[in-house]
Each structure stands twice: as structure tokens, then as C-alpha cells.
Chain A
Amino acid sequence: DGGITQSPKYLFRKEGQNVTLSCEQNLNHDAMYWYRQDPGQGLRLIYYSQIVNDFQKGDIAEGYSVSREKKESFPLTVTSAQKNPTAFYLCASSLTGGDGPYNEQFFGPGTRLTVL
């Protein structure tokens, strides 16, 4: 059963701690993305990766870091430098990082991070 998974669904951390959110896909997609969503708002792009060992900053990358050592995995670390980390985090993948037909993004179920 192909898809994109994120774990855990809910995550609680103390202020000042780094935390890593997992994102795995078995769709053989080249491109992967991380978004942040705050209540009542749309999605904002944090980082994206078009290919293994390469990634680019999105619109709100400050306080976050990523790695793309394997095609199927794109973990996101929320560092202590992120001033307001409590949010809903969504991971997505697409066939390629470019565009064209049939290049829609597939989203995971999300991780809700709460920093206490």
C-alpha cells in the first residue's frame, strides 16, 4: 500500500529542546516538502527537496533544518531557535520537483507539535 507516513501524530516537547519529525514515502517520488500550518491558516513552505542530497529553503526556513540522505526519507528538525514551534506540520511528496501533468503533491497525515 503506497503512501506517505508521518510519525508521531501528536508530539509534545519542552521549550528549548530540538525535536525531529519523521516523514517517509514509498511512492518512489523524487521531490519532498515540509509545510507548517497554524490554526485557521493555509500551508507555508518550510523546506523542499527535489532530489537526494539536495534541499532548498522555503518561505519560513528559519529555526528548522532538514536532511535528505535517502530518497524515501525527509526528516525535519525543529530547533530551539524556532520562536513559535507549536503548529501542525505536513510532509508531502511529488513525482518530480518540476512541473507538468501528473505531478500533484501527496500529503501525509501530519504531526501536531506542541511545545510546552
Chain B
Amino acid sequence: DAKTTQPPSMDCAEGRAANLPCNHSTISGNEYVYWYRQIHSQGPQYIIHGLKNNETNEMASLIITEDRKSSTLILPHATLRDTAVYYCIVRGYTNAGKSTFGDGTTLTVKP
């Protein structure tokens, strides 16, 4: 699986959009980009994933660059409950479901 690089921490004001970047410059053509988040002492929660097109669901939007070397997770209206560690990972057929989680980005939403 391709490695990912994320900033260690970010702050966001409550009600504003949170934009979390992820670099995955070695991603290959059949690898998907997945985003999860982990609230303290809980299991990670799936947020969204995509291959090459932008995706949106009830939780977030995922913007993937045309060359697929980076992506941005957007939480459109961050709330205090969005404070968590956000993980960006890539997964593909070659590693049969193995997912490497880096240290993620700690997002702190402030009132």
C-alpha cells in the first residue's frame, strides 16, 4: 500500500469548514483513498473513500487531485464532536486488504 503523509495537528473554529490534507504521491492506479477518524479511546470510524472522482456523503466531502497524489477531506461545518484523529490511508488489490495507518491528523475544533 502507498504511504500517506498528513500534518500532525490542525485547529478549526466551530461552524467553519475543516480541510484536512493528505499526500499519497506513490499511489497506484488501483488503490483507493479511505478516510477514518478516531475519537479518543474508541475504534476508528469510516468516513468516506474514493478512487479518482470527488465524493460526498452525509459526513464529509473528499477531493482527490487529478494526478491522485493528494486529497483533502472536508468537514463542511465542523462541530466540537468532530474533534478526533483523522487517518488517511490507501488500499489496493495487491496487498489484499492490508491497511497501513500512519499517525493521522489530530483535529481540534474550538468554540
Contact = CB atoms under 8 A, between A and B. Distances in A.
B32 to A, nearest CB: 6
A98 B34 contact: no
Contact of A45 (B32, B44, B87, B99): B99
B92 interface: yes
B97 interface: yes
Interface string B56-83: 0000000000000000000000000000
Contacts of A98: 93, 96-97
Contacts of A44: 101
Which size class do A's interface residues fall under?
Answer: 20 to 34
Which size class do B's interface residues fall under?
Answer: 20 to 34
Contact of B101 (A31, A40, A43, A56): A43
Most buried by A among B92, B99, B100, B104: B99
A31 B96 CA distance: 10
Nearest to A6: B43
Nearest to A94: B97
Contacts of B45: 107
Contacts of B93: 98-99
B62 to A, nearest CB: 13
A100 to B, nearest CB: 8
A92 B89 CA distance: 15
Given A43-B44, A105-B46, A97 B103 contact: no
B41 A88 contact: yes
Contacts of A59: 100
Nearest to B35: A104
Given A31-B97, A58-B98, A99-B93, A104 B34 contact: yes
Nearest first, the 9 A-B pairs at minimum CB distance are A107-B43, A97-B97, A43-B101, A104-B46, A42-B101, A42-B103, A97-B96, A107-B44, A42-B102
